[in-house]
A and B are shown apart, each in its own frame.
Chain A
Amino acid sequence: MSERTKIDARGAYCPGPLMELIAALKLVRVGDEIEVLSSDKGSANDIPEWVKKVHHEMVGITEEDGYWSIVVRKAK
Protein backbone atom coordinates (compact mmCIF):
# COMPACT_ATOMS: atom_id res chain seq x y z
CA MET A 1 0.00 0.00 0.00
CA SER A 2 1.37 3.39 -1.00
CA GLU A 3 2.16 6.03 1.58
CA ARG A 4 2.13 9.81 1.46
CA THR A 5 4.82 11.98 3.05
CA LYS A 6 4.26 15.69 3.62
CA ILE A 7 7.07 18.25 3.31
CA ASP A 8 6.47 21.77 4.54
CA ALA A 9 8.77 23.95 2.41
CA ARG A 10 6.79 27.14 2.93
CA GLY A 11 9.15 30.09 3.25
CA ALA A 12 11.88 28.44 1.17
CA TYR A 13 12.92 30.07 -2.08
CA CYS A 14 13.69 28.41 -5.42
CA PRO A 15 15.13 25.82 -5.80
CA GLY A 16 14.71 24.87 -2.13
CA PRO A 17 11.27 23.18 -2.39
CA LEU A 18 12.38 21.17 -5.43
CA MET A 19 15.52 20.01 -3.67
CA GLU A 20 13.52 18.96 -0.62
CA LEU A 21 11.14 17.01 -2.86
CA ILE A 22 13.99 15.21 -4.63
CA ALA A 23 15.72 14.31 -1.38
CA ALA A 24 12.44 12.90 -0.07
CA LEU A 25 11.79 10.91 -3.26
CA LYS A 26 15.12 9.14 -2.78
CA LEU A 27 13.85 7.76 0.54
CA VAL A 28 10.43 6.41 -0.44
CA ARG A 29 9.27 3.44 -2.49
CA VAL A 30 7.96 3.45 -6.04
CA GLY A 31 4.26 4.28 -5.87
CA ASP A 32 4.57 6.39 -2.72
CA GLU A 33 3.54 10.04 -2.83
CA ILE A 34 5.17 13.22 -1.59
CA GLU A 35 3.09 16.31 -0.81
CA VAL A 36 5.14 19.51 -0.92
CA LEU A 37 3.75 22.68 0.61
CA SER A 38 5.44 25.65 -1.05
CA SER A 39 4.85 29.39 -0.87
CA ASP A 40 7.30 29.96 -3.73
CA LYS A 41 5.41 30.77 -6.93
CA GLY A 42 8.32 29.70 -9.14
CA SER A 43 8.42 26.29 -7.53
CA ALA A 44 4.71 25.81 -8.19
CA ASN A 45 5.59 25.98 -11.89
CA ASP A 46 9.00 24.36 -11.74
CA ILE A 47 8.13 21.23 -9.77
CA PRO A 48 5.53 19.96 -12.31
CA GLU A 49 8.04 20.70 -15.08
CA TRP A 50 10.74 18.70 -13.28
CA VAL A 51 8.32 15.82 -12.61
CA LYS A 52 7.48 15.66 -16.31
CA LYS A 53 11.14 15.79 -17.38
CA VAL A 54 12.34 12.99 -15.13
CA HIS A 55 9.21 10.86 -15.61
CA HIS A 56 7.62 10.78 -12.20
CA GLU A 57 3.85 11.45 -11.90
CA MET A 58 1.98 14.60 -10.91
CA VAL A 59 -0.96 13.66 -8.72
CA GLY A 60 -2.20 17.21 -8.31
CA ILE A 61 -1.50 20.81 -7.48
CA THR A 62 -3.82 22.98 -5.40
CA GLU A 63 -3.51 26.66 -4.56
CA GLU A 64 -4.29 27.24 -0.92
CA ASP A 65 -4.21 30.46 1.10
CA GLY A 66 -0.76 31.81 0.27
CA TYR A 67 0.86 28.53 -0.72
CA TRP A 68 0.57 25.57 -3.06
CA SER A 69 0.09 21.91 -2.26
CA ILE A 70 1.91 19.83 -4.87
CA VAL A 71 1.54 16.05 -4.80
CA VAL A 72 4.00 13.86 -6.70
CA ARG A 73 4.03 10.06 -7.07
CA LYS A 74 7.37 8.26 -7.36
CA ALA A 75 7.18 6.35 -10.63
CA LYS A 76 10.58 4.70 -10.92
Chain B
Amino acid sequence: MASNPLYIVLCSGEHEKIQMAAMMASVGAVSERPVEVFVSMNAVLAFAKGSTPEERYRGGTFSDLLKAKHAPDAITLFQQGKELGDLKMWACSMALDVQGWELDRLEDDLFDGALGLTRFLSDAENGQLVTL
Protein backbone atom coordinates (compact mmCIF):
# COMPACT_ATOMS: atom_id res chain seq x y z
CA MET B 1 0.00 0.00 0.00
CA ALA B 2 1.33 3.44 -0.90
CA SER B 3 2.25 5.67 2.04
CA ASN B 4 0.21 8.74 2.91
CA PRO B 5 2.05 11.70 1.29
CA LEU B 6 3.66 14.26 3.58
CA TYR B 7 3.30 17.96 2.78
CA ILE B 8 5.52 20.46 4.60
CA VAL B 9 4.98 24.22 4.60
CA LEU B 10 8.31 25.77 5.59
CA CYS B 11 7.94 29.49 6.25
CA SER B 12 10.33 30.13 9.15
CA GLY B 13 13.84 31.38 8.57
CA GLU B 14 15.02 29.87 11.86
CA HIS B 15 17.80 27.37 11.40
CA GLU B 16 16.23 24.88 13.81
CA LYS B 17 12.96 24.77 11.84
CA ILE B 18 14.74 24.54 8.49
CA GLN B 19 16.82 21.66 9.88
CA MET B 20 13.70 19.89 11.15
CA ALA B 21 11.98 20.33 7.80
CA ALA B 22 15.04 18.94 6.01
CA MET B 23 15.19 15.93 8.34
CA MET B 24 11.48 15.19 7.97
CA ALA B 25 11.54 15.66 4.21
CA SER B 26 14.64 13.56 3.56
CA VAL B 27 13.81 10.71 5.93
CA GLY B 28 10.21 10.63 4.75
CA ALA B 29 11.23 10.57 1.10
CA VAL B 30 13.73 7.74 1.53
CA SER B 31 11.16 5.77 3.49
CA GLU B 32 9.05 5.36 0.37
CA ARG B 33 6.72 8.19 1.36
CA PRO B 34 6.07 10.93 -1.20
CA VAL B 35 7.03 14.32 0.26
CA GLU B 36 6.42 17.84 -1.01
CA VAL B 37 7.87 20.97 0.58
CA PHE B 38 6.46 24.46 0.03
CA VAL B 39 9.03 27.14 0.94
CA SER B 40 7.73 30.60 1.71
CA MET B 41 8.34 33.81 3.71
CA ASN B 42 11.69 34.08 5.54
CA ALA B 43 12.53 30.46 4.71
CA VAL B 44 13.05 31.47 1.07
CA LEU B 45 16.06 33.57 2.08
CA ALA B 46 17.85 30.51 3.47
CA PHE B 47 17.84 28.94 0.01
CA ALA B 48 19.62 31.84 -1.69
CA LYS B 49 22.17 30.50 -4.16
CA GLY B 50 25.77 30.65 -3.00
CA SER B 51 25.13 31.58 0.63
CA THR B 52 27.63 30.53 3.27
CA PRO B 53 26.31 28.53 6.25
CA GLU B 54 26.75 31.62 8.41
CA GLU B 55 24.57 33.67 6.05
CA ARG B 56 22.07 30.88 5.54
CA TYR B 57 21.43 29.63 9.05
CA ARG B 58 20.33 31.98 11.82
CA GLY B 59 18.76 30.75 15.01
CA GLY B 60 19.14 30.12 18.71
CA THR B 61 21.01 27.73 20.97
CA PHE B 62 20.42 24.68 18.84
CA SER B 63 21.52 26.47 15.70
CA ASP B 64 24.87 27.09 17.37
CA LEU B 65 25.06 23.45 18.45
CA LEU B 66 24.11 22.12 15.03
CA LYS B 67 26.88 24.17 13.44
CA ALA B 68 29.47 23.45 16.11
CA LYS B 69 28.86 19.69 16.00
CA HIS B 70 28.66 19.55 12.21
CA ALA B 71 25.14 18.15 12.02
CA PRO B 72 24.12 17.29 8.45
CA ASP B 73 23.60 20.47 6.44
CA ALA B 74 19.91 21.14 5.74
CA ILE B 75 20.43 21.94 2.05
CA THR B 76 22.40 18.70 1.66
CA LEU B 77 19.60 16.75 3.35
CA PHE B 78 17.03 18.19 0.95
CA GLN B 79 19.31 17.28 -1.97
CA GLN B 80 19.71 13.73 -0.64
CA GLY B 81 15.96 13.41 -0.26
CA LYS B 82 15.54 14.33 -3.91
CA GLU B 83 18.32 12.03 -5.11
CA LEU B 84 17.34 9.01 -3.04
CA GLY B 85 13.59 9.38 -2.65
CA ASP B 86 10.40 10.98 -3.89
CA LEU B 87 10.82 14.59 -2.75
CA LYS B 88 9.49 17.63 -4.56
CA MET B 89 10.23 21.20 -3.50
CA TRP B 90 8.29 24.27 -4.46
CA ALA B 91 9.13 27.93 -3.94
CA CYS B 92 6.18 30.13 -3.02
CA SER B 93 5.48 32.34 -6.03
CA MET B 94 4.17 35.14 -3.80
CA ALA B 95 7.32 35.14 -1.65
CA LEU B 96 9.51 35.27 -4.76
CA ASP B 97 7.43 38.17 -6.13
CA VAL B 98 7.62 40.13 -2.87
CA GLN B 99 11.38 39.57 -2.66
CA GLY B 100 11.78 40.47 -6.33
CA TRP B 101 13.49 37.16 -7.05
CA GLU B 102 13.20 34.66 -9.86
CA LEU B 103 13.66 30.96 -9.28
CA ASP B 104 17.27 31.16 -10.46
CA ARG B 105 18.20 33.11 -7.30
CA LEU B 106 17.67 29.90 -5.31
CA GLU B 107 20.04 26.93 -4.95
CA ASP B 108 20.34 24.91 -8.16
CA ASP B 109 18.74 21.49 -8.62
CA LEU B 110 16.62 21.79 -5.50
CA PHE B 111 13.33 23.32 -6.54
CA ASP B 112 10.90 21.75 -8.95
CA GLY B 113 9.40 25.16 -9.67
CA ALA B 114 7.44 28.07 -8.26
CA LEU B 115 3.94 27.34 -7.03
CA GLY B 116 0.97 29.15 -5.53
CA LEU B 117 -0.37 28.28 -2.11
CA THR B 118 -3.80 27.42 -3.48
CA ARG B 119 -2.41 24.65 -5.68
CA PHE B 120 -0.18 23.31 -2.88
CA LEU B 121 -3.03 23.20 -0.37
CA SER B 122 -5.25 21.52 -2.93
CA ASP B 123 -2.65 18.79 -3.45
CA ALA B 124 -2.12 18.50 0.30
CA GLU B 125 -5.73 17.45 0.82
CA ASN B 126 -4.51 13.97 -0.14
CA GLY B 127 -1.95 13.71 2.65
CA GLN B 128 -0.65 14.98 5.97
CA LEU B 129 0.22 18.67 6.24
CA VAL B 130 2.89 19.98 8.62
CA THR B 131 3.80 23.65 9.00
CA LEU B 132 7.15 24.87 10.29
Contact = CB atoms under 8 A, between A and B. Distances in A.
Interface of A: 11-16, 18-19, 22-23, 26, 46, 50, 53-54
Given A23-B80, A26-B84, A15 B32 contact: no
B84 A12 contact: no
Chain B binding surface, main DSSP class? helix
Given A16-B72, A19-B77, A53 B32 contact: yes
Given A50-B27, A54-B32, 6 more contacts: A12-B72, A15-B26, A16-B72, A18-B30, A22-B30, A23-B84
Interface string B1-34: 0000000000000000000000100110011100
26 contacts: A11-B70, A12-B72, A13-B70, A13-B71, A14-B23, A15-B23, A15-B26, A15-B27, A15-B72, A16-B71, A18-B30, A19-B26, A19-B30, A19-B72, A19-B77, A19-B84, A22-B30, A22-B84, A23-B80, A23-B83, A23-B84, A46-B27, A50-B27, A50-B31, A53-B32, A54-B32
Nearest to B76: A19
Contacts, number: 37
Given A13-B71, A26-B84, A53 B26 contact: no
10 closest Cβ pairs, A-B complex: A13-B71, A16-B72, A19-B80, A22-B84, A22-B30, A15-B27, A54-B32, A53-B31, A15-B23, A50-B31
